[in-house]
Every structure is written in C-alpha cells, then in structure tokens.
Amino acid sequence: MAMALPAAALDSFTMAFGHDPAQQPQYRFYELIYTEAFKRLGFTFAYKVYPSKRCSALANAGAVDGEPQRIADYAKTYPNMVRVDEAIFTNRVIAFSTNTSIHLDGWDSFRGTNYRVDYRIGSRVAEEELPKRVAPKLLSGVPAVEQILKKLKTRHTDVFVDAEWLVLPLLNSPEFKDSGIAQVGIIASDFSYPFLHKKHAELAPRLAEVLRQLK
C-alpha cells in the first residue's frame, strides 16, 4: 500500500515500512514525522508496506529510497544503506512470559536456562543473539507476534522476546488483555535510526538536522 502522490510533485522520497501505519501506532508516528521532515526538504513523502526482510532487500537494492528505523549498525549487514545520525526512536527489547517467576536481564541471562523461547522471524537482533545462548531444541522462530502470544497464552512456550512497541498494543487488546502475559525482563535498549540508500547519502545530514528541529 502506498500513499497517493500529488500530480504536481516534482520530487518524492519513498520508504519501505514493515507495518501499516493504519494498524500500528509507531508507524503512524513515522508517517507523520517523515511527511513533515521531507516536506521541509522539498520532497513529497510516500511509503510502501512490506514484510521486514523484504524492506531490507528492497532498500539495500535501491528499489525504495530508505527505511524509517533500524539499529545503529544496520549497514554492517546491508552495506548500501547510510545511517541518518539522529535517532528516531529508543527501542527496547523485552522478554514476555506468563510465568512471572522468570526474571531476565540482558541476552546472557538466557545462558544455562531451559526456557522454551520464541522470537519473531525478521527480528534481526533476536535471530543473531538468541542462537548463541539458547539450545536449538528450545528455540523457535514464528512469523507473527499474534501467533507467539497465543503460544504464551496456551503455555506452549515459556518466553517471547521482541520489541516493546510491537507487543504492548496487542497486550492491551481484548484477546490478550487478561491473558496473564507480563514483562519479565529488559533484554536490550538501544537507539533506532533512519537509513537511506547510498544514492541519497548527501541527504542524510540534512534530514538529521530537520529531525533535530522537529524534536
């Protein structure tokens, strides 16, 4: 899905969004702030929604112009991407469980445990960090947050690790509000940054300055 562009627009900038702003408040925030930021830079802003890994592939290939937020060292994996050096968001990775006797603090707190741990496929940091610390037989990647929350709710897994902003809105929904799922630890906390394809490298410092002004 993409926002319609005015016929008179001479310049446009398109980002790959991993979530639909109409359904995800965090991406509604991105839609609003980037629309204003690029307007100040003389561009019409648009977005297209794809699965997370598809966003990475398209952005790195230059098929879209950038992505709204990724971790600071994202370009190590996708070398065609240039970081905008103004953080757009503070991202917290949280452990969730129905077993409130579980207490986790950081990735290394998984070492030596026997917890069945689920993560969302496409969460690059979870895909990298959990296999270093959790036995393969205890670790599962699942496509959607809702599926993992249902596994937690029915006690088919013990711990779910994902970004706080993705999970909390669902925990407040009628389906999961009284499920007993709670936060049982902060696993990581870091800044997320906008990334642009390298063909727009000269735009990165200008966008950083506009974002600072908007803040």
pLDDT per residue as tens digits for the range 11-40: 899 999 999 999 888 899 999 999 999 999
pLDDT per residue as tens digits for the range 97-155: 999 999 999 999 999 999 999 999 988 889 999 999 999 999 999 999 999 999 999 99
Q: Model-level pTM? A: 0.68
pLDDT: which is higher, 204 or 7? 204
SS3 track for the chain: CECCCCCCCCCEEEEEECCCCCCCHHHHHHHHHHHHHHHHCCCEEEEEECCHHHHHHHHHHCCCCEEEEEECCHHHCCCCEEECCCCCEEEEEEEEECCCCCCEECHHHHCCCCCCEEEECCCHHHHHHHHHCCCHHHEEEECCHHHHHHHHHCCCCCEEEEEHHHHHHHHCCCCCCCCCCEEEEEEEEEEEEEEEEHHHHHHHHHHHHHHHHHC
